[in-house]
Amino acid sequence: MIRTILLGPPGAGKGTQAAIIVKNNNIPHISTGDIFRENIKNGTELGKRAQEYMSKGELVPDDLVIEIATTRLLEDDCKNGFILDGFPRTVHQAEELDKFLDEHGQEISVVINLEVPDDVLMKRLTGRRVCPKCGATFHIVGMPPKKEGICDICGAELIQRPDDNEETAGNRIEVYNRETKPLIDYYEKKGKIANIDGAAALEVASAAVAEALGG
């Protein structure tokens, strides 16, 4: 059974790899970032609290993240495995996750760590464009729309997310390097880490991920 965590800085391709894993293994992709953005969109109290941090490229406090992630893991679709993306982000969160899983007779099978140089991350992040209507994602270099600035799917005008500008993107990378990289050491000591070249071609990276998952 696959219970995996995707590690990697913003722009490393975690969402892309998660989609492939979901398709091949029929397990849910749990992205705390997506959950928070949905709450922000709906104007919930959790969303308002999270937005204060996310709009600055800062990490949402541990207590909020732990609560929403572990609550999600109790849902029925997680019984046969899951992919965690964006959680845990700190060693404290990882320790709390381990406690939670142990209480439920579970454990993480492998941690996928996508490694990408900072300069590549910056190009990926600042070039991303999203459709505010249907949620489709494009990239001005890597995956441009057929018509510049227009969504291929629904025809809406594409936007740059506030947290994808150069200043905020740089801050997100800095925060990751400072706060989240210690997780790599944490899971390496447990023998759980699988380091993957996230800057490689998609099919190469995907094959390496599948092998790490035992596929």
Clarify whether 161 is annotated catalytic.
yes
Residue 180 DSSP one-character state:
I
Clarify whether 181 is annotated catalytic.
no
Residue whose C-alpha is closest to residue 152's, from 186, 129, 180, 181: 129
Residue whose C-alpha is closest to residue 64's, from 73, 55, 53: 53
- Alpha helices (runs of H) in 85-199, residue ranges in sequence order: 91-103, 118-126, 166-175, 182-189
User: Under 8 Å CB-to-CB from 204, ≥6 apart: which residues?
Assistant: 197
Q: Which of 37, 124, 128, 129 is flagged as catalytic?
A: 128
23 strand-pairing partners: none
Clarify whether 14 is annotated catalytic.
yes
Q: Which of 3, 14, 124, 129 is flagged as catalytic?
A: 14
User: Under 8 Å CB-to-CB from 149, ≥6 apart: which residues?
Assistant: 129, 157, 158
CA distance 27 to 49: 29
Clarify whether 172 is annotated catalytic.
yes
Q: Which of 3, 89, 124, 129 is flagged as catalytic?
A: 89
User: Under 8 Å CB-to-CB from 97, ≥6 apart: which residues?
Assistant: 66, 69, 70, 84, 87, 88, 108
CA distance 177 to 208: 23
- Please identify every residue annotated as catalytic: 14, 89, 128, 161, 172
